[in-house]
A = this chain, B = another copy of it.
Amino acid sequence: MARITSITVEDVRFPTSLTADGSDAMNKDADYSAAYVVVRTDATDSLGEPLAGYGLTFTIGRGNDIVATAARQQGAVLVGRDVDEVAADMGGVYRALTSDSQLRWLGPEKGVVHLSLAAVLNATWDLVARRAAKPLWRLLADMTPAELVDVADLRYLSDALTRDEAVAILEAKRAGKAERIAHLERTGYPVYTTSAGWLGYDDAKLRRLCQEAVDAGYGHIKLKVGASLEDDVRRLSIAREVIGPDRRLMVDANQVWDVPQAIDWMSELVRFDPLWIEEPTSPDDVLGHAAIRRAVAPIGVATGEHCHNRVMFKQFFQAEAIDYCQLDTGRLASINEIVAVLLLAAKFGVPVCPHAGGVGLCEMVQHVSVLDYVAIAGDLTDRVTEFVDHLHEHFTDPCVVADTGAGSGYVLPSRPGYSTQMHEVSVERYRFPGGDFWAAAPRNGSSAESSEESRAGALR
């Protein structure tokens, strides 16, 4: 009998603040980071290698240690568990991890303890898919409707989605899976790029990156907005000029506006024909998003990267508050909660266009979007998944985006797992604060500077 022998969690930080990658109206100095979980077992995989799972959640620097600490406490309950039992009952594993009422109090189901839960479960799902020698999307798509619903967390959803409805949604898409997989093998899953549009880039860099995106076959481009209306108008003019009238342009305000301000600001940007305004206000404001959506139509409203759980998404759907669901694979509690949201979105007819970027999010969302198309929504209409071309070099099975002639798309993942194993040299170099990079350059990057202050403060 094989068992889980250890769960380790690393605080890994990349000094992205040095280049203004990831800068937006709310977040100006992000050091993209991962609370990186490794679940080790005494089993071997199909190749005779030691079987392990690798997963993460994403943060933007300071506090990544706090998430890692929470993940260590949550993960500990899995040590000693039978690997076959874990693989056969991921719904039960989820309940075991969420049933600690003392840690639940710190959310509930939100914030640090939910991010850390995502990291632990993401690594465990990676383990389960590797054990089955399948990419995670295929492991899930191969499940029967009842099996997939059994792993989904439907608690608090029954006023919007019953278990029977969930099974029926999946039953309705059992036929045609092979054709849909074949379609994605030809075209990839549709993507858009945010790499061009960070606020910290100057106009020349913005123009060059927009042109490169067009040349690379992107049909959608997203820009950050919200810091200065004058700057937004100038930058959107440049982008529209480069991409032309037919490609889609999205804008993202990263929560900087109140509701009335969002409506006013977008009335100035509507002339650039944006497909959606993303995160126009507080991610908690379901009714505010609904008000904005009514006011800015036909511009769509999108949110989700900070939507903390399925109960919030349920309400976004019930209130008809959003046109696009941008769930986040590091913020929702892994596949168990993501499947619930995909089912809700399918019932309410809202396209899921997951948030990605950061560290490892692109690696994960490709599995989620493929699963959604193959087994749940069964539709690509209005779907486009985020891609940011940063930090993939740190992963052993990085996502690949290619232009197949039908526009750029995520190439269907084929290797076992959830694609989130990092190279050991990357973990060693960027482990915070002791890794080679941070030890050699302690004043580089905003994580380091402020964390030194924090430590000094705590010691006084």
Contact, CB under 8 Å: B258 / A158: yes
**Chain B residue at minimal CB-CB distance from A80:** B457
Please report which residues of chain A, range 51-65, place their CB below 8 angstroms from some CB of chain B when the two chains form the complex: 59-63, 65
Residues of B within 8 A of A281 (CB): 156
Q: Which of B8, B76, B103, B261 is within 8 Å of A453, CB to CB?
A: B76
User: Any chain B CB within 8 A of the CB of A291?
Assistant: yes
Stretch at the interface among A222-230, A234-242, A312-320, A366-374: A312-320
Q: Which of B76, B103, B104, B458 is within 8 Å of A458, CB to CB?
A: B76
Contact, CB under 8 Å: B258 / A67: no
Q: Which of B63, B76, B101 is within 8 Å of A29, CB to CB?
A: B101
Chain A residues bordering chain B, tally (CB within 8 A): 81
Please report which residues of chain A, range 102-156, place their CB below 8 angstroms from some CB of chain B when the two chains form the complex: 102-115, 155-156
Name the residue among A73, A102, A460 with the largest chain B CB count within 10 angstroms. Answer: A102
Residues of B within 8 A of A8 (CB): 458, 460
Contact, CB under 8 Å: A159 / B102: no
Q: Which of B27, B104, B155, B288 is within 8 Å of A101, CB to CB?
A: B27
Contact, CB under 8 Å: A458 / B72: yes
Q: With A63-B105, A76-B454 known to touch, is A285 a contact of B311 (CB < 8 Å)? A: yes
**Chain B residue at minimal CB-CB distance from A71:** B458
Residues of B within 8 A of A73 (CB): 62-63, 66, 451, 454, 457-458
State the 5 A-B residue pairs at the shortest beta-carbon distance, nearest first: A111-B111, A76-B457, A112-B112, A159-B259, A62-B102
Q: Which of B6, B70, B319 is within 8 Å of A460, CB to CB?
A: B6
Residues of B within 8 A of A66 (CB): 66, 69-70, 73, 106, 112-113
Complex alpha-carbon distance, A8 and B459, angstroms: 8
Contact, CB under 8 Å: B450 / A100: yes
Complex alpha-carbon distance, A111 and B70, angstroms: 12
User: Any chain B CB within 8 A of the CB of A157?
Assistant: yes
A sample of 21 cross-chain residue pairs with beta-carbon separation below 8 angstroms, ordered by A number, consists of: A26-B101, A30-B102, A62-B102, A66-B66, A69-B69, A72-B457, A77-B457, A79-B457, A102-B446, A108-B255, A109-B282, A110-B308, A111-B113, A156-B258, A156-B282, A159-B258, A159-B259, A282-B311, A284-B308, A284-B312, A288-B315
Residues of B within 8 A of A7 (CB): 457-458, 460
